[in-house]
Structure 1
Amino acid sequence: MTGRLSFELPRLGIGTAPLGGLFEEVTEADAAATLKAAAREGITYFDTAPRYGHGQAEDRLGRLLAPAGVTAPLISTKTGWLLRPRPDGTPGEVVPDWTEAGIRRSLESSLDRLGRSSVDILYLHDADDFPDEVRRTAYPALRRLRDEGLVRAIGFGMNHSAPLAAYVAEFDVDVVLIAGRFSLLDHDALGALLPLCARTGTSVVVGGVFNTGLLAGPSPGAMFNYRPVPERELLRARRCRRLCAEFDVPLSAAAIQFPSLHPAVGSVIVGCRSAAEVTANAAGARCAVPPELWQRLAEEGFVPQELVPAPGLAEH
């Protein structure tokens, strides 16, 4: 679906927070190998942000995408926060700036790191607590940037559904990115956000489908929503994995494909820090998931019943 967008979103994209060193450093060689694997798998959508590694993720995309063989990437980045390096040039503060000058300066810096004259999508990043600033200056600035052709589409990228739904209801939004709130373990986005986006034609990109790693590998050392996993969520994830195993479907495959059961969802992005992760996630996106598995998962609360495909259809 395109909705308000003038272009089609790829069904699978890569989130680049890991390439910026989220949780652990990624070497330059591993970053290059990750992007080469994306090229081999035909992945063309890359989501990034200045805050990912204090500009490192954007910088790596700018330098490594073309050598990796990705010739026509679709790139989304974010704005609303400025990077302030220390006098010695090392990473320093990240400060909010929702003024038009700040929005433009952030985008100009992103374009410089990415080596591009424009980006496909520009999100206001984590604008949860700044509705007045968004209303007065930030959103009007985004509209002007779109009118000027510096970005093709505008929207909001956040981790919480309620404020994101409020912004979609108030503003002319092309696309939103919701992270961690529409997964096998968390259906919060289904309450207001996704039905609203379906009505308004606002495309939805879903990130955080593994809830920061738990659904990629349910173990006591896994992270859940950026924190050590609570016992209750670990048990739920392991139960979900057992149900998937009954149908010979990897848990990660079901996690990647679950958001696309909703018609408002145009793309799913997964964070990758290695070539092996790219290959595994691409395979998960292609894996045939029978409707009978979705039904079993629905019976135990992992999938909303209204999203279960009709019998006899296979999801890919």
Structure 2
Amino acid sequence: MTAIKTVPLGGKNSLQVTNFGLGTAPIGHTASVSDTDADATIRGAYELGVRLFDSAPLYGMGEAEIRIGRALQGIPRDSYVLSTKIGRVLNADRSAFVYDYSRDGVMRSIEGSLARLKTDRLDIVLVHDPDADVVDHEQDALDGAFPTLQDLRDQGVIKALGAGMNQWQMEQRFAEQADPDVFLLAGRYTLLEQTSLDFLERCKQKGVGIFLGGVYNSGILATGPHETAQYNYMNAPTEILAKARQIKAITDRYDVGLNVAALHFSLAHPAVTSLVVGAVKPSEVEANIAA
């Protein structure tokens, strides 16, 4: 991708973020990612110029936040931006969580994140997947989570708020009702899928920032369209494999890697502030930045 640069976040703040961020969902998996690799990945990203780190209590049941807090110790806090999420409140031993989008749930979630991240403040707090439970929590988020985050933003406790989801439709409603600064949208604006175009344009008009996650659609645009390639966290269906093969034929014609095209395509949309891309080794961060 092009060189890492600092850009305005959007919304009602003066926050600046890098156009490339480290997503830490995979770093939370302690069974497959060692502490050594996790620390090296996070520190390596910082040393390469990444200044945006996105996490959530859900990622490894708090382990991703713990690893960020450990890896960034000793680095000036004002030199990077932390984004985390609310909506799933972990119990005391981090063995389970409950969905909670109430004011109390927001405050308890933030308190836990601050402790795990070893910091005294959060920059960005996102409402996490209010559509993920068997019960839809959209109204709970509008009645509880968003007003609480707005109060915290007004008090200067956090700098920005929004939502992080895999769907744009609910985020579009939040854009009109919840006074957000930024949305994290995963998997809905990629080489394989552009269903969110109208939503992105609306956010651009409103000055709301966009972080894009899932730019590889959970794997297929990074690994290529082989038979066991992953798409949206499952084996890619036949029609997606066929579409990915058509795209790869074009990128091959121009001697461009499919993963490289995927990153550049997603970042090129004028509404997009940053790409938030996961990695579990320093070499993966280096490869993404060099793409």
Q: Distance in 1 between matches of 2:258 and 2:279?
A: 17
Q: Which runs of 5+ in 2 are unaligned?
A: 1-6
Q: How does 1:42-121 map to 2 (within 5 A)?
A: 42-66=49-73, 72-85=79-92, 89=93, 91-121=94-124
Q: Distance in 1 between matches of 2:104 and 2:46?
A: 36
Q: How does 1:1-316 map to 2 (within 5 A)?
A: 2=8, 3-4=10-11, 5-21=13-29, 25-66=32-73, 72-85=79-92, 89=93, 91-128=94-131, 129-190=136-197, 192-218=198-224, 219-284=226-291
- Structure number with higher relative contact order (C-alpha < 8 Å, ≥ 6 residues apart): 2
How much identity, in percent, do the aligned residues show? 38
Give 1:270's aligned amino acid.
Answer: V
1:148-177 Cα deviation digits (max 9, x unpaired): 222110001110011110110112111111
Q: Secondary structure of the residue that 1:204 maps to in structure 2?
A: strand
Moved more, 246-255 or 158-167: 246-255
Q: Distance in 2 between matches of 1:140 and 1:268?
A: 27
Q: Secondary structure of the residue that 1:151 maps to in structure 2?
A: coil
Moved more, 61-70 or 120-129: 61-70
Q: Secondary structure of the residue that 1:26 maps to in structure 2?
A: coil
1:105-153 Cα deviation digits (max 9, x unpaired): 1001001111111111100001232222122211110111112222110
Moved more, 198-207 or 227-236: 227-236
Q: Distance in 1 between matches of 2:219 and 2:67?
A: 23
Report how far residue 223 of structure 1 moved.
Answer: 1.3
1:73-123 Cα deviation digits (max 9, x unpaired): 2110000111125xxx3x422211111111001001001111111111100
2:17–2:51 CA contact under 8 A, matched in 1:
no
Moved more, 51-60 or 249-258: 249-258
Moved more, 179-188 or 224-233: 224-233
Normalised by the length of structure 2, the TM-score is 0.90
1:5-28 Cα deviation digits (max 9, x unpaired): 412221111100010119x62111
Q: Secondary structure of the residue that 1:60 maps to in structure 2?
A: helix
Instruction: Give the 3 Å change call, closer, same or farther, for CA 95–215 of structure 1 in structure 2.
Output: same
Structure of larger gyration radius: 1
Aligned length: 278
Q: Which runs of 5+ in 1 are unaligned?
A: 285-316
2:39–2:70 CA contact under 8 A, matched in 1:
no
1:32–1:64 CA contact under 8 A, matched in 2:
yes
Q: Distance in 2 between matches of 1:21 and 1:169?
A: 35
Give 1:103's aligned amino acid.
Answer: V
Q: Distance in 2 between matches of 1:228 and 1:107?
A: 35
Give 1:113's aligned amino acid.
Answer: R
Report how far residue 250 of structure 1 moved.
Answer: 1.3
Instruction: Give the 3 Å change call, closer, same or farther, for CA 152–69 of structure 1 in structure 2.
Output: closer
Instruction: Give the 3 Å change call, closer, same or farther, for CA 64–38 of structure 1 in structure 2.
Output: same
